[in-house]
């Protein structure tokens, strides 16, 4: 269960959402899209087109060739760092995990229609299902859960149909959960009417996901939720929690430290399933940027602070981000730390 906190204007999180669905189409998984704001068919029409491997490989190859030329000269001052691996902002030797997409082009309709799609548009689902008494939660959520459960058992994702030989995966995408369009006022007030609807929904969804071959991404406008307690509980109930913070409209947009990027990615939690340990990466600071064709997530690296007249504000910001840079910093600094004497 991947829980994504939306950025303020929802631009980048809907992009991430579409990536998830597009990956499903390319892999041949079934899709289930639920939304209350935009009709799911419209969402599906706007999935990015997959990049054929050779074009992307060529682009990356050009970049990598340009980079590797200047790295061979040995370092004179920071020679201690010579032995550390060169920090790569984005994985150049990309492992074949997933596909890459071209954001400027839309996915061909034939490709999109090659997989089975189910959708749930809240305003079209009339109150047909009766028997809400055991549910005790927001009716929109309850109907969504019933719809998901129906698809799972009908299409055999939970292994209930032993005759079905080809097992497939169901990718579920739910957009803008918790917002007012779903009938939940958890984003509007500090003491919502039914504070437990969202958490109960997540718990039941978690049960459904564990029981079947499905994966789910949910985007939530977390910046609107006033009651922080709910966010804590929701984090506990999800496997992966990722927050997107875009720089639009905030002071960081003009900050020279962040000029290459469009926003930050905060990984709040990663799943620890079937094992005592979890797969923790070296660094937790990731930033994203939207180039004309690609949406990339890279490690955040600060440019070297070379100027003499560095202003107070940016120094504080640097200190603030240095706090974020945890002790994995030593390996990635490579002359980028600001030494204060």
Partner 1 sequence: QGKFTLLRDTRTDGSFLVHHFLSFYLRAGCKVCFVALLQSFSHYNIVAQKLGVSLAAAKERGQLVFLEGLKSCLDLLFGEEEQPGQPSPLQFLSTSDLRALFDFVRVSLTPADGDSWKGPVLLVDDLSVLLSLGAAPVAVLDFIHYCRASVCWQLKGNVVVLVHSNEDSEDEGNELVVNSLCHHSDLILWAEGLATGFCKDIHGQIKIIKRLSLRQAAGQDLVQIYQYKIQDRNVTFFARGLSAAVL
Residues that bind partner 1 in the complex, under the rule CB under 8 A: 133-136, 145-146, 149, 196, 199-200, 203-204, 206-208, 210-211, 227-229, 232-233, 236-237, 272-278, 280, 282, 284, 323, 326-328
Give the residue with the Cβ less far from partner 1, 153 or 314.
153
Alpha carbon distance 49, 62 (integer Å): 22
Nearest distance, CB of residue 261 and partner 1, angstroms: 21
Nearest distance, CB of residue 199 and partner 1, angstroms: 4
Give the residue with the Cβ less far from partner 1, 44 or 265.
265
Nearest distance, CB of residue 163 and partner 1, angstroms: 22
CB of 186 closer than 8 Å to CB of 198: yes
CB of 227 closer than 8 Å to CB of 171: no
CB of 229 closer than 8 Å to CB of 223: no
Only one residue has tokens 């991947």, namely 2
Give the residue with the Cβ less far from partner 1, 47 or 231.
231
Give the residue with the Cβ less far from partner 1, 14 or 212.
212
Give the residue with the Cβ less far from partner 1, 28 or 207.
207
Nearest distance, CB of residue 153 and partner 1, angstroms: 8
Give the residue with the Cβ less far from partner 1, 65 or 273.
273
Give the residue with the Cβ less far from partner 1, 42 or 136.
136
Q: Which helix (H) or strand (E) holds 118?
A: strand 117-121
Nearest distance, CB of residue 283 and partner 1, angstroms: 9
Alpha carbon distance 303, 257 (integer Å): 7
DSSP line for 158-219: TS--TT--S---EEEEE-STTSGGGT-GGGT-SS-TTTTHHHHHHHHHHHHHHHTTEEEEEE
Nearest distance, CB of residue 305 and partner 1, angstroms: 21
Nearest distance, CB of residue 146 and partner 1, angstroms: 8
Q: Which residue blocks in the chain are alpha helix, DSSP H?
A: 11-27, 40-45, 53-69, 109-112, 139-154, 197-211, 228-237, 312-324, 329-333
- The distance of Cα 221 from the centroid of its chain, to the nearest Å, equals 13
* One-letter-per-residue 3-state SS of 163-174: CCCCCCCEEEEE
């Amino acid at each position: 269960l991947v829980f994504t906190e939306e950025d303020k204007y929802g631009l980048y999180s809907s992009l991430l959402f579409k990536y998830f669905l597009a990956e499903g189409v390319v892999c041949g998984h079934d899709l289930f899209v639920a939304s209350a704001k935009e009709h799911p068919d419209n969402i599906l029409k706007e999935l990015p087109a997959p990049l054929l491997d050779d074009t992307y490989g060529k682009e990356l190859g050009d970049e990598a060739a340009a980079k590797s030329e200047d790295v061979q000269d040995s370092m004179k001052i920071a020679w201690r760092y010579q032995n550390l691996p060169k920090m790569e902002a984005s994985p150049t030797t990309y492992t074949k995990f997933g596909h890459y997409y071209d954001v400027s082009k839309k996915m061909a309709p034939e490709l999109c229609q090659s997989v089975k799609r189910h959708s749930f548009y809240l305003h079209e689902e009339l109150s047909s299902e009766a028997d809400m008494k055991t549910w005790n939660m927001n009716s929109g959520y309850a109907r969504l859960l019933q719809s998901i459960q129906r698809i799972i058992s009908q299409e055999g994702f939970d292994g209930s149909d032993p005759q079905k030989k080809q097992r497939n995966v169901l990718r579920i995408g739910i957009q803008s959960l918790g917002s007012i369009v779903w009938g939940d006022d958890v984003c509007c007030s500090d003491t919502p009417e039914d504070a437990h609807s969202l958490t109960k929904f997540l718990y039941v969804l978690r049960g459904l996901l564990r029981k079947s071959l499905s994966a789910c991404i949910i985007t939530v406008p977390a910046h609107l939720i006033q009651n922080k307690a709910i966010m804590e509980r929701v984090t506990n109930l999800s496997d992966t929690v990722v927050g997107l913070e875009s720089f639009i409209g905030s002071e960081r947009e003009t900050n020279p430290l962040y000029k290459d990027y469009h926003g930050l990615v905060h990984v709040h939690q990663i799943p620890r399933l079937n094992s005592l340990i979890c797969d923790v990466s070296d660094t937790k600071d990731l930033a994203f940027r939207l180039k004309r064709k690609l949406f990339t997530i890279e490690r955040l690296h600060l440019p070297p602070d070379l100027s003499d007249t560095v202003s107070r504000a940016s120094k504080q910001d640097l200190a603030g981000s240095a706090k974020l840079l945890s002790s994995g910093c030593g390996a990635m600094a490579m002359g980028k730390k600001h030494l204060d004497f």
